[in-house]
Amino acid sequence: MNKITEQLLRSISDWNGEFKGAYNIREDGECAGRQSSENIIIESKKDAPGLVITIKPGTKGERVYIPACVTHSGIDDLVYNDFYVGEGADVVIVAGCGVHSTDEEAARHNGIHRFFIEKNAAVVYEEKHIGTGTSNGIRKIDPVTDITLGENAKLTMDTVQLSGVDFTSRLTRGVLEKGAKLIIRERIMTDGNEQAKTDFEVALKGENSGVDLVSRSVAKGNSYQEYRSCIKGQNRCTGHSECDAILVGNGKVSASPQLIAENCDAELIHEAAIGKIAGEQILKLRTLGLTEEEAEQKIISGFLK
Amino acid sequence: MLRLENISWKLEDGRGILNDVSLEIPTGKLVVVTGPNGGGKTTLAKVVAGLITPDSGKIYLEDEDITSLDITERAKKGISYAFQQPVRFKGLTVRDLLELAAGEKLNRGHICDLLGKVGLCTNDYIDREVNASLSGGEIKRIEIATVLARNTKLSIFDEPEAGIDLWSFSGLVDVFGELKNKIKGTLLIISHQERILEIADEIVVIADGKVRTKGTAEDILPQLLSGEKAKCCERSC
The angle subtended at Cα A29 by Cα A28 and Cα A30, nearest 5°, is 95
Interface test with A, best of B79, B80, B81, B89 (most A CBs within 10 A): B89
Domain membership of residue A91 as a residue range: 1-150+159-165
From the CA of A298, how many Å to the nearest CA of chain B?
A: 8
Q: Which CATH number does the domain housing residue B75 bear?
A: 3.40.50.300
Q: Do B92 and A298 touch (CB under 8 A)?
A: yes
- B220: in domain: yes
For residue A169, which amino acid is it? S
Residues of A with CB under 8 A from a CB of B: 216, 244, 278, 280-281, 283-292, 298-299, 302-305
In a domain, B159, yes or no: yes
Q: How far is CA A296 from the centre of its chain?
A: 25
Which residues are CB-neighbours of A3 under 8 A, at least 6 positions away?
A: none
Q: Where are the alpha helices (DSSP H) in chain B?
A: 41-49, 71-77, 94-102, 108-117, 122-125, 136-150, 166-182, 194-198, 217-236
User: What integer pLDDT is reported at residue B235 of this predicted model?
Assistant: 47
Structural domains in chain A (count): 1
* B187 belongs to a structural domain: yes
The string of pLDDT tens digits covering residues A6-32 is 889 988 888 888 888 899 999 998 889
Q: Express each pLDDT in A144-170 by its tens digit.
A: 999 999 999 999 999 999 888 999 999
Residue contact A289–B81, C-beta within 8 A? no
Number of C-beta neighbours around residue A287 at 10 A = 27
User: Closest Cα to residue B75, out of B53, B98, B106, B49?
Assistant: B49
Flag whether B19 is in a domain: yes
Taking one residue from A and the other from B, the number of pairs with CB-CB distance under 8 angstroms is: 60
The CA dihedral of A39, A40, A42, A45, to the nearest 10 degrees, is 100
- Is B104 within a domain? no
Residue A286's pLDDT band (cuts 50, 70, 90): very high
Residue B119 domain-assigned (yes or no): no
Interface confidence: ipTM more than 0.90? yes
B174: Cβ contacts below 8 Å, ≥ 6 apart: none
Quick check: B120 and B138 in contact, CB under 8 A? yes
Which residues, 6 or more positions from A146, have their beta carbon under 8 angstroms from its beta carbon?
Answer: A112, A113, A114, A115, A173, A174
Count of domains for chain B: 1
Cβ proximity of A241 and A200 under 8 Å: yes
pLDDT of residue B229: 53
A36 assigned to some structural domain: yes
How close is the nearest chain B Cα to the Cα of A240, in Å? Answer: 16
Which residues in B lie closer than 8 A to residue A299 (C-beta atoms)?
Answer: 89, 91-92
Within 10 angstroms of residue A304's Cβ, the number of other Cβ atoms is 16
Tens-digit pLDDT profile for chain B (237 aa)? 899 999 999 999 999 999 999 999 999 899 999 999 889 999 999 999 999 999 999 999 999 999 999 999 999 999 999 999 999 999 899 999 999 999 999 999 999 999 988 888 888 999 999 999 998 889 998 999 999 999 899 999 999 888 777 777 777 888 888 888 776 789 999 998 888 999 999 999 999 999 999 999 999 988 887 775 555 445 444
Using a CB-CB cut-off of 8 Å, the residues of chain B touching A287 are 49, 51, 71, 75, 79-81, 83
Domain that holds residue B197: 2-86+152-236
- Tell me which of A284, A294, A298 to substitute to probe the interface with B (most B C-beta atoms closer than 10 Å): A284
